[in-house]
Amino acid sequence: MSLLEFLSRGSAPDLGSERGVSCTGELPDPSDPALVDRAMVAKTALGSRLMILGHHYQRDEVIRFADITGDSFKLAQAAANNREAELIVFCGVHFMAESADILTSESQKVILPDLAAGCSMADMATQSQVAEAGRIFAELGISSSTIPVTYMNSSAAIKSFTGEHGGTICTSSNAERAMRWALEQGDRIFFLPDQHLGRNTAVRKLGLTLADCVIWNPWKDRGGLTDDEIHGAKVLLWRGHCSVHGRFTAKNVEDMRSQVPGIQILVHPECQYEVVSQADHVGSTEQIIKTIAEAPQGSSWAIGTELNLVRRLATENPGKNIHFLDKAICYCSTMNRIDLPHLVWALETLAKGRIVNQIKVDPVTAKFSRVALERMLALP
């Protein structure tokens, strides 16, 4: 399928309009034809002092320069295992760069090429809201039996709460292991901030019921729950979601099945429970890539995950029919903030000896965040 055919499934955005919205004034011109060469020259000049990490949802123009590509779990491991690179340029979003800073040594510096690359899901759980939930658990006498399991897609402050309260971090690759571990430590899980990953894992992997999972709404008094509901829950799901994966609907699945006979539906567990329930396969970003790589030639797939990745899978698997699950084209707007001009600007500035856009987590927050992240890395 050509890119044109691929995009014609819906109304394609003007890719040019997504670039460098808040130009610092120092950014290279996006139309500069030498950008690729400039990135290569700066990368070569930095040599082994530099490691570039690239999340799978990054643009092609950026991911081509990554030394290691992966989902947030794989990139966290890569950061933790590297002690040589003095400069780690993280092509991803803010919470990923924070985790890399926590897991690397004091002398290593983590750089985010555009500081506006945040995550709307991470923003749905603030430090004060989570602290208030913790206060209510203490008041009810359930602090030690309520184990936080926090998705990687969260701020360092929420990871710190998790570490301090006996919990662990998880990713979409290891959420099942993390939740099983948590239920061995206590009576219930406090799952933050993605309700869909928490619910899908609890019901589909752990065998809990939908009724075992209740929503903790941070905008309501005491999470919008009675004390009995809190006591009775096996999983308290923070009311957060991914604005990209949360948009896929059961109707998208139905439409795709009626349009393409024999198509298989493959979705990420951040999708809504109704979507995941109707899919043929559910998997983390890494699992989605592996599934498509191993799929037979001529097979047809509709994939419910971020569009940069789906488009790349379509390009890299020309003998397979790859479709985006939704008719409307949707990128993760914050992931897309990291474009080639920002990467070139960051690399060239670093090559001149100036540190820019360093992500530094304060030592107090880092201490318990590291505890939570290391619990994840040590999960059986």
Binding interface with ligand SF4 (CB under 6 A):
57, 93, 119-121, 153, 242-244, 306, 332, 334-335
Q: What are phi and psi of 342, to 5 degrees?
A: -65, -40
Residue with Cβ nearer ligand SF4 (153 or 174)? 153
Closer Cβ to ligand SF4, 292 or 335, answer by number: 335
One-letter amino acid at 119 equals C
Residue with smaller CB distance to ligand SF4, 143 or 243 = 243
Least separation in angstroms between CB 363 and ligand SF4: 26
State phi, psi for 298 to the nearest 5 degrees.
85, -10
* Distance of alpha carbon 290 from the chain centroid: 18
**In angstroms, what is the minimal distance from the CB of 84 to ligand SF4?**
28
Tell the residue number behind the tokens 């309009």, with chain if given: 17
Distance (Å, rounded) from C-alpha 235 to C-alpha 362?
30
User: Would you say 58 or 129 has its CB closer to ligand SF4?
Assistant: 58
Please say which residue, 153 or 195, places its beta carbon nearer to ligand SF4.
153
Q: Residue 330 — φ and ψ, nearest 5°?
A: -145, 115
Rounded to 5 degrees, what angle do the CA atoms 9, 18, 290 make?
Answer: 55
The whole-angstrom separation of Cα 329 and Cα 349 is 34
> Mapping DSSP to helix (H, G, I), strand (E, B) and coil, where does residue 267 land?
strand
Q: Which is nearer to ligand SF4, 22 or 107 (CB)?
A: 22
* Least distance in angstroms from the C-beta of 16 to ligand SF4: 20
3-class state of residue 191 by DSSP = strand
CB of 59 to ligand SF4, least distance (A): 13
Torsion of CA 306, 309, 311, 312, to 10 degrees: 180
